[in-house]
Amino acid sequence: MKSGLEGIGHIPLSTGDYYDACKRQLGHDLITKEDVWKRVGYIPLPHAYPIHASRSTHRIIAGGNRSGKTYCAAGEVIPYLLWWGSRGWIVSSKFDLADQLRKELQGFLVDRLGYTLGSNSNRLQPGQFYWSVQSHRLSTWMDNSIELKSAESPDSMNAVPVDYIVLDEAALFPFLYYDTRLVPRLVDSGGWILSVGTFEWLQGEWFEEYFDLGQNENNLDISSFMMPTNKNFHVYVGKGGEQPQDVGALYHTSWRAIVKHNAQVTWPLSSGTQVVINNVDLNWLEKEKRRIDPAVFASRYLAVSAGNQFRVFPSYTVSEFVDDRRAAFDPSLPVYLAIDPGGTYAVLAIQLKRGVSVNSENQNTLSRDVHVCLIDELYFQTTVTTAEVFEVMRHKEWFRNLRRGVTSSEMTGVIDIMAPEIHRTWEQLGRKCPELNNRFTLRTKKVNINPGNQTLQHYLDTNTLWVHPNCKWFSVEMKRYHFKELSPATVDTGDPRSMDKPKDEWNHAIRALVYFLVARYGYYGRSATPAVVSSRQLRGDRRR
């Protein structure tokens, strides 16, 4: 079944090579986005053009408050709403959030195109549209529609093919539904999803991850863009003779505000005279910048991620610690395992390297010049057996290196002390495995949460921890692992870091790594002596 767009996926921005390719595929001429924009009077913000020109399947717009991101999304959608037979969704965490974009689109239809409201979606005459409050669907006389969907009703996001999806206030939307409910709806059409949002404090980690990915070339078809509030303005270049009313009508804004914000301009305009059309009060914004906390201002107005202020490891960033070169698998070195087999089954593959890079001014008092490199991870959020995890691990290129270095004073890895049965299963599987040649020993060590976290922080402070991009869930945990959120009554006065422990969630791979670091090198601040395992202890473990 073909969609209204008949498989072209994206309407061309303008004529050119892509337009010609679409024309050949469809067998007829077609509209362009710029054709529609001229008709409806939509003028993209200068930094919005790359968004409209992109044909990535996954586009991310991180914008500040009042940055024009909803207006940009409406400009992207309106050509599709004028394409015969197209189907689209506007999705958000709640219906009222999704409804903001619908109102913007309806404004285009009524105010710019002169459409009128029909009485029935099945009997629309040319130039009519219909909005159904019951079905949350806006239909037009061109047999197309755009429907509102909400995370509050995930089961309604099934079984229907659509050409495009706009995810509004995306940082508030659960990522679980992104791949299970939204993206599968685009399979028939080869369509796209545009995620629009503002960076949040305690949620939306997936939105930040996708934004970071989209800032560089990648093989995931993700592109991302910034829309800061202070860039929400147009620059009009005079042709000669225009009055303020002419410019105001062109941009659908107050001509008096244009005159106020361009006091230096003489009217009527001379050819080449530049006029700034501000969509927000930049003077007010600049005054508020001096008052507002810089991190809050950055996230709410500059489209810069402020992160989670209650994170356990706020200094961890992907840009600083994720390095595919430093954390690459070295076939000449042993590989060690760090295992936490809790509700989420997390296994980290680790190599210890010297001379990876120059340490920071703060020297690592535990590992000395040895750097801990996370080369890979196994991360299962569904129920799996230890045998299944072990089988997945057997197909990794680093698997055979688990037997390297396993002597009477060495170990293959570390596992949670609270999982004795799983510990025995791991060792039984390891010692029966022919590739490991009966050389597989896991250690356990009781680790207190706060001293363990302080130890991991020491590796971050001294730049002696490196993470391969394959370990994406470890990076997600480092962003999500946080102290308990404060209640509304105490959010301004309480200190979550004064609590005894962080929230016991999103810390499975982190705990596995902490087990390993403490078992191998000891706690930071307690002893600089490595936690060497004796041969007597090893023999005792083997007898268990």
Range in 49-63, 81-95, 289-303, 366-380 with the lowest mean pLDDT: 289-303
Q: Over the stretch 386-440, which tens digit does the pLDDT of each residue have?
A: 999 999 999 999 999 998 866 655 789 999 999 999 999 999 999 999 999 888 9
Beta strand 222-227 with 137-140 is unpaired
Return the number of other C-beta atoms located less than 10 Å from residue 510's C-beta: 25
Q: Spell out the residues 6+ positions from residue 448 whose beta carbon is closer than 8 angstroms to its own.
A: none
> Distance (Å, rounded) from C-alpha 155 to C-alpha 163?
19
Whether 410 and 541 have beta carbons less than 8 Å apart is answered as no
Q: What letter does residue 342 receive in the DSSP assignment?
A: S
528 closest CA partner among 368, 398, 397: 368
For residues 45 and 542, give the distance between their C-alpha atoms in angstroms, rounded to a whole number.
68
Each residue's pLDDT tens digit, 116-144: 999 888 889 999 999 999 999 999 999 99
Q: Which pLDDT does position 532 carry in this prediction? A: 43
DSSP line for 133-174:
TTTTEEEETTTEEEEEEETT-GGGSSS---SEEEEETGGGS-
Helices marked H in 292-351 = 294-301, 318-321
Residues 14-22, mean pLDDT to the nearest whole number: 96
The helix or strand, by DSSP H or E, that contains position 510, with its residue range, turns out to be helix 508-521
Question: How far apart, in whole angstroms, are the C-alpha atoms of residue 129 and residue 109?
Answer: 8
Asked if the model's pLDDT at residue 499 lies above 70, the reply is no
Q: Which burial class, exposed, middle or buried, applies to 131 when counting CB atoms under 10 A from its CB (0-12, 13-18, 19+)?
A: middle
**What's residue 505's pLDDT?**
87
pLDDT tens by residue, 312-323 = 998 898 888 999
Tell me the percentage of the chain whose pLDDT exceeds 90.
69
Is residue 307's pLDDT more than 70? no
In percent, the amount of the chain with pLDDT more than 70 equals 91
Q: What is the mean pLDDT of residues 475-488?
A: 81
Whether the CB-CB separation of 232 and 43 falls below 8 Å is answered with no
* Chain centre to alpha carbon of residue 513: 24
Strand partners, 337: 349, 413
394/458 Cα distance (integer angstroms): 32
Quote the CA–CA distance of 533 and 414 in Å, as a whole number: 11
Distance CA(232)–CA(313), nearest Å, equals: 34
- 529, burial (CB in 10 Å: exposed 0-12, middle 13-18, buried 19+): exposed
Strands 370-380, 345-354: pairing kind: antiparallel
Amino acid at 226: M
